[in-house]
A = this chain, B = another copy of it.
Amino acid sequence: MPTRNIRIVLTRPIYGGNIGSVCRAMSNMGLSDLVLVAPLATDWEEARKMACWAGDLLDSRKEVATLPEAVADCGWVMGTTSRLGLYRRHSKTPREWAPQILQTAQTATVALVFGPEDNGLSNDDLEICTQLVQIPSRPEYPSLNVAQAVMICAYELYVAAGLFEPACEKSPEASSSLRELMFALWKKTLLDIGFMKEDKAQHMMLGLRRILSRGTLSEDDVRILMGVARQTGWCASEMLRLKERFAQEGAARSGPTTPP
């Protein structure tokens, strides 16, 4: 697990709900090492509620009195901040840091340190940090909820680690020959139902091709569309058959024919 040596450190967190949300975010993104520095939170029921299915992570948290204790064994100590004071300028975004964090975490523990809800990390806290992380956000309201900040960092690490297997279509992309079979079937059908005349057919079919060529078209998709065309063609032939029958019966009765 490339995210094994990565520790989340919350300094003086105030709300249990946020601590719980941090646990859930960590579990969603494959992190498990949580250290709280001098937590002020007392609402641990709210923490458990927000942790949801990550209660085990809440239970296995460590608590220490000071930030230096929390990161004593860490190689990198990365402080997150949304304010940019004189000595807070050497910051990079979580996406920029992520590959370096994963590389460093192969041989050392990397701590990601988050400040309290009200004021963020103090200058005393930042003194201990070796790197600064700044999460992109709107300058008019740059301050993220602490659990949201943890989520974005954890998410960037999870994505950078390449652990996510995107959902992929089970049915393969339809081949050109299968697509052409489908378009030929639709052309015949659209002529049969009287949607277009032979002289306009190529033009109309270009429209249909455009609509059906905007993204993936799997073999399953093509089979559905061919099924619709076949059934439509069957309806059209039934209609013609019935029309002829009515015409014959009408001729037999010498009455008017029923309109189609």
What is the copy number of this chain in the assembly? 2
Q: Which of B24, B84, B159, B163 contacts A145 (CB 8 A)?
A: B24
Determine which residue in A25, A54, A155, A163 has the highest number of CB atoms from chain B within 10 A of its CB, and name it. A155
Assembly CA distance A202 to B145 (angstroms):
51
Interface string of A55-95 (1 = CB under 8 A from B): 00000000000000000000000000000100011111101
Within 8 A of B (CB), among A119-156: 134-139, 141-145, 147-148, 151-152, 155
Known pairs A28-B137, A138-B30, A164-B137; A89 contacts B169 (CB<8 A): yes
Q: Least Cβ distance of A68 to chain B in Å?
A: 23
How many A residues, CB 8 Å from partner? 48
Q: Which of B52, B151, B169 contacts A152 (CB 8 A)?
A: B151
Interface string of A218-241 (1 = CB under 8 A from B): 000000000000000000000000
Sorted nearest first, the 5 A-B pairs with minimum C-beta distance are: A136-B164, A28-B137, A30-B138, A148-B151, A27-B141
Q: In this assembly, does A170 line the interface, its C-beta being within 8 Å of a C-beta of chain B?
A: yes
Q: Which of B17, B30, B50, B167 contacts A84 (CB 8 A)?
A: B167
Assembly CA distance A17 to B134 (angstroms):
25
Q: List 11 A-B contacts (CB under 8 A).
A: A25-B148, A84-B167, A89-B169, A90-B215, A91-B167, A92-B166, A136-B164, A137-B158, A138-B163, A139-B165, A152-B152
Q: In this assembly, does A175 line the interface, its C-beta being within 8 Å of a C-beta of chain B?
A: no
Smallest Cβ-Cβ distance to A170: which chain B residue: B89
Residues of B within 8 A of A147 (CB): 148
Q: Which of B134, B139, B145 contacts A50 (CB 8 A)?
A: B145
